[in-house]
Amino acid sequence: MMQLSVKDIADNANMIINGYAYTKEGDYIRVLNLNCLNNAAVIYKDEIVETNMDDIEIQIVLDYYNKNKEFMEEADAEVL
């Protein structure tokens, strides 16, 4: 299994908010806590469909996503 670094994950994320990397893959948004790489979630149609986060962290992740999803970069967006 290939081990990714925090830098690799952050570089490939479409959006990072307060230590959470949001990566769009098709209709799904993968979320990873960059401060605790064991905490992850998957968002589909604005709802968490899979996670190992606790209820408080789930709400934080969803709040960040819903307030900022319009800013999600497309895969071909230019990074300055």
Domain assignment present for 39: yes
Which of 68, 14, 66 minimizes the C-alpha distance to 22?
A: 14
Produce one character per residue of 23-61: b if its CB has 16 or more CB atoms within 10 Å, e if not.
bbeeeebbbbbbeeeebbbebeeeebeebebeeebbebb
3-state secondary structure (DSSP) of residue 64: helix
Note down pLDDT in tens along the chain; length 80 residues. Answer: 456 789 999 999 999 999 999 999 999 999 999 999 999 999 999 999 999 999 999 999 999 999 999 988 665 455 54
Domain region containing 46: 6-71
| Total of domains in the chain | 1
Domain assignment present for 80: no
Domain assignment present for 24: yes
Domain assignment present for 78: no
Domain assignment present for 77: no
Q: How far apart are CA 62 and CA 58, in angstroms?
A: 6
Question: Tokens at residue 61, please?
Answer: 């992740």
